[in-house]
Amino acid sequence: MESELTRIGVSMPENILTKFDTIIKDRGYSSRSEGIRDTLRTYINYHEWMNVIHGRRFATISLIYDHNKYGLTEALAEIKIDYYSIIKSSIHIHIEDNLFLEVLILDGEGEDIKMVAERAIALKGVNYVKLNTATPSENMS
């Protein structure tokens, strides 16, 4: 439960703020602050969900990234090399200008899968990362 409010300042590119303002208007938020609080709650819930990924998992990690960002292709290749034993397949397509969509398919320990996603999230030039996991059923052995 939130008891006290703290005022903060945030700097961001104008185009992101414009898109955010459109979304909060479309969703019926009464203010930017309400939209930001809801967004932060969603982010916190996602982070908490990521912390309980344990045991063997099947997963996909979807990435959208700027192929022309200096050093990004090499950094993504390094992640794939470091986790070659759990990355079973990948596919990428050119979606527009410098942007690529890449999907990694993984099978391995949840902690390792989570690390692949977190390393990708931290890279400059990666615009989107989405991790989805599934636990193998008892009958899949």
Domain ranges of the chain: 14-50, 56-136
For position 138, what pLDDT does the model report? 52
Question: Is the model's pLDDT at 27 over the cut of 70?
Answer: yes
Q: Which fold has domain 14-50?
A: Arc Repressor Mutant (1.10.1220)
**Per-residue pLDDT reduced to its tens digit, 57-89:** 999 999 999 999 999 999 999 999 999 999 999
Q: What is the pTM of this model?
A: 0.69
CB atoms within 10 A of CB 65: 24
Query: What is the residue-averaged pLDDT of the chain?
Result: 89
Question: Is the model's pLDDT at 139 over the cut of 70?
Answer: no
Is 56-136 in the same CATH topology as 14-50?
Answer: no
Cα separation values, 114 from 67, 87, 120, 126, 134, Å? 23, 12, 10, 16, 13
CATH of domain 56-136: 3.30.70.1150
Q: Quick one: pLDDT band at residue 141, thresholds 50, 70, 90?
A: very low
CB of 46 within 8 A of CB of 99? no
CB of 86 within 8 A of CB of 113? yes
CB of 86 within 8 A of CB of 116? yes
Question: Is the model's pLDDT at 50 over the cut of 80?
Answer: no
**Per-residue pLDDT reduced to its tens digit, 98-109:** 999 999 999 999
